[in-house]
A and B are shown apart, each in its own frame.
Chain A
Amino acid sequence: MKKKQTGAQIVWECLIREGVEVVFGYPGGANLPLYDALPDYPIHHVLVRHEQGASHAADGYARSTGKVGVAMTTSGPGATNMVTGIATAMMDSSPTVFITGQVASKLIGYDAFQEIDVTGITLPITKHNYLVTDVNEISSAIREAFYIARTGRPGPVLVDISKDAQQNAIEWEYDDSPIKLPGYRPDPTLSRGHVQQVVDMIQSARRPVILAGNGIIASGAMDEVLDFAEHTNTPVAMTLLGLGAFPASHPLALGMMGMHGESWVNTAIQEADLLIAFGMRFDDRVTGNVKTYAPKARKIQFDIDLSEINKNVPVDAALIGDLRHTLRQVIDFIQPCEHREWVETIQQMKDEASAHSILTDSGDKHLYAAHVIDELWKCTDGDAIIVTDVGQNQMWAAQYYKLDKPARFISSGGLGTMGFGLPAAVGVKMGNPDAEVWLIVGDGGFQMTQAELSTAAQEGIKITIALINNGYMGMVRQWQEFFYDRRYSATPMRNPDFVKIAEAHGLTGLLVTQRADIEKTIQQARQTEGTVLIEFKVEKEDSVYPMVPAGASLHQMIRRPVPNTAFEKEEAQSKAK
């Protein structure tokens, strides 16, 4: 039955119909009508401290729950502050809807107070966007926005609503007729002809490697990939965002590939005769120099997005569509395969590489991030949701926290957004109130969005923060060490007392400076109520190994010096002085 409703009420009605339970946002002049209507609806609003925080929180919520994350801000600076978060969601295909207030429609185009062309600004960083200036168009725009955000290759959609459209009232009832988008094809169909070609290539491979990407998680194709890998006995390498798409504890799991991938993973890719890409896009951080990438391998790409095929790396065959369906069709035609020799060869490489692992370092003088994360993994039985920031902390988290389940490694991959971690962790916790949520963050990135500690405190949620403090913008320092002759330009940081910062928010702050204290402090933090920050004062100049320098071939890795001998040398040198 039709009922008189304002545009603002219609927005909330539509959000409820989409199943929205939590919205991250910040009120302002141009979305006041929305906030005025909010208390009448059963939706929990999380007040962030900066709009960027709202955008990352919605993103983190979406990645960890698979549901659409929603952020809401006012016009002008409220909207532009979300640009980084929208771009982050775009690069990592995160299903999100951003609702921004806009100045009244009669003022649009006149440079009114807090007016900015938000749809213009976000055009290249959204999957689609809408400018709504008529109350009659609000519900269709929001329905379409959610539909587009969560179908096909997911992504961010922005709906910009003028203040008068929010205020005007119409006789309205919810319209649930099918959405008409004549040009939108969320799930392109599979062409049959290619299946046979793909099957033949898989069947004849001797040294195949699966490249597992974020698309597996987006499609929910974990079981299909597991079936496929076991059926064909194919080792599985993962991208950063693909971590958890295949269980790390599975004998066929190799680990992470790419710039900071493990040596045996990258070597296996370079030696492979067939690469089978599942929902990954051959990003430059994964391939190194594309000209020398996997030179002996034929390549098959499974993707839902046609534009990813042949984009970065030419492939020999491709299957377009939702991975869950395309893979099912292929598996039925494949005879079981054995690749014992190949799997053993990789295992040998893996065994040899273990000598380089910092975890084998027996001395306890030095506190390394690797030990912190390894200990965290053990203490939490590998069952926490790990949110990371960007940089060394992120790579160490990826290398040492070995995940068996999907959607538990929440990290900004494509855009590499420092400051993503803390607000994303807030979003993750709001979406997973019963899960143990850990944030692994560096001292640099933490300070970018530190204000969201207040949000965590106000919500009374428990996030446990492992702050890896090395007093540097660590990853940039590492590049300066390796490629810029150790000129540490603008990377050293004079940091605040992070423990006191936690305490100033009414939260618990703990400090760890020795390896011996890692485990008990982690356990203490887990048992403490509310958000806890542990500052780990780690080795200042440790680096992430292995490293493929940008533009180098994937097998040309800088390896970690074998730990103990390196320290002995170091100590001998210092004694000699």
Chain B
Amino acid sequence: MKSTLVVLVENKPGVLNRVASLFRRRAFNIDSLAVGRTENPDVSRMTIVVDSDQLNIERLTAYLYKLVNVIQVYNLTATPSVDRDLALIKVQANDESRSHIMQIVDVFRARIVDVNSNSLMVEITGDEEKIEGFIEVLKPWGIIEMVRTGLVSMARGASSLLVDPIPVSDFNRITV
């Protein structure tokens, strides 16, 4: 099962390495990892998608908390949240095919960000499913190059993970 973890870490050199190294060391596979700044300049935010069962996600959470630079870990998998991935896709396009592709782009509410006599570059944001679907439809036209940012995720509602952290004692529960 895919799980989405949001990890708030201190914004210091080497922290990404510590987190990535932990996944390697404990043999967890990272499906995607996105890292960036937050509203607080001292805090970076990682969204990590992991394919693992519930017990292992709890193990992983406990290991993440052992890293001194990790401030909070949240499992947003079951929380109502907005998930977004961004992809840039360069697709083959000539005078004949260009308008067909542009129609597809419209249907998916994607955007054309670069036009060339032989290609188009398309930007699309959305959850994973939408982007996967878009890629499938574009494939027959010939994808030249593609890049994805990896998922970022944020819980719905007015609270902030950074300002209203879940108290640590909640992690004292044990599931068997």
Contacts and interface: CB of A to CB of B under 8 A. Distances in A.
Contacts of A550: none
A311 interface: yes
Given A183-B71, A188-B169, A318-B174, A306 B65 contact: yes
A124 B70 contact: no
A307 B62 contact: yes
Interface string A176-219: 00000111110011110110000000000000000000000000
B27 interface: no
A309 interface: yes
Contact of B58 (A120, A190, A193, A310): A310
B18 interface: yes
A191 to B, nearest CB: 4
A191 B176 contact: no
B176 A314 contact: yes
Contacts of A184: 68
Interface stretch (B9-17, B114-122, B127-135, B148-156): B9-17
Nearest to B73: A183
B21 A183 contact: no
Contact of B168 (A188, A194, A309): A188
Interface in B126-176: 168-174, 176
B113 to A, nearest CB: 36
Given A191-B172, A315-B176, A316-B176, A119 B65 contact: no
Counting chain A CB atoms within 10 Å of each CB, which of B10, B70, B172, B176 scores highest?
Answer: B172
Nearest to B67: A183
A131 B12 CA distance: 11
B55 interface: yes
Contacts of B176: 310, 314-316
A123 interface: yes
Contacts of B32: none
A194 B67 contact: no
A127 B173 CA distance: 24
Nearest to B21: A123
B79 to A, nearest CB: 21
B146 to A, nearest CB: 32
A190 B169 CA distance: 7
Counting chain A CB atoms within 10 Å of each CB, which of B21, B66, B170 scores highest?
Answer: B66
A189 B172 contact: yes
B172 A320 contact: yes
Nearest to A299: B176
Contact of B174 (A131, A189, A317): A317
B168 A311 contact: no
B69 interface: yes
B59 A307 contact: yes
Nearest to B24: A124
B10 A183 contact: yes
Contacts of A131: 14
B108 interface: no
A272 interface: no
Interface in A260-318: 305-307, 309-311, 314-318
A213 to B, nearest CB: 18
Given A188-B172, A315-B174, A183 B70 contact: yes
Nearest to A308: B62
A128 interface: yes
A194 B172 contact: yes
Interface string A120-144: 1001100110010000000000000
Interface string A300-344: 000001110111001111111000000000000000000000000
Nearest to A181: B68
A330 to B, nearest CB: 14
B69 A185 contact: no
B95 to A, nearest CB: 50
B114 to A, nearest CB: 35
B107 to A, nearest CB: 44
Contacts of B63: 307
A148 interface: yes
Contacts of A309: 62, 174
Interface string B67-109: 1111110000000000000000000000000000000000000
B170 to A, nearest CB: 8
12 contacts: A123-B17, A183-B65, A185-B168, A188-B169, A189-B169, A191-B170, A193-B173, A305-B66, A307-B59, A310-B58, A318-B172, A318-B174
Interface of A: 119-120, 123-124, 127-128, 131, 148, 181-185, 188-191, 193-194, 305-307, 309-311, 314-320
Interface of B: 9-10, 14, 17-18, 21, 25, 55, 58-59, 62-63, 65-72, 168-174, 176
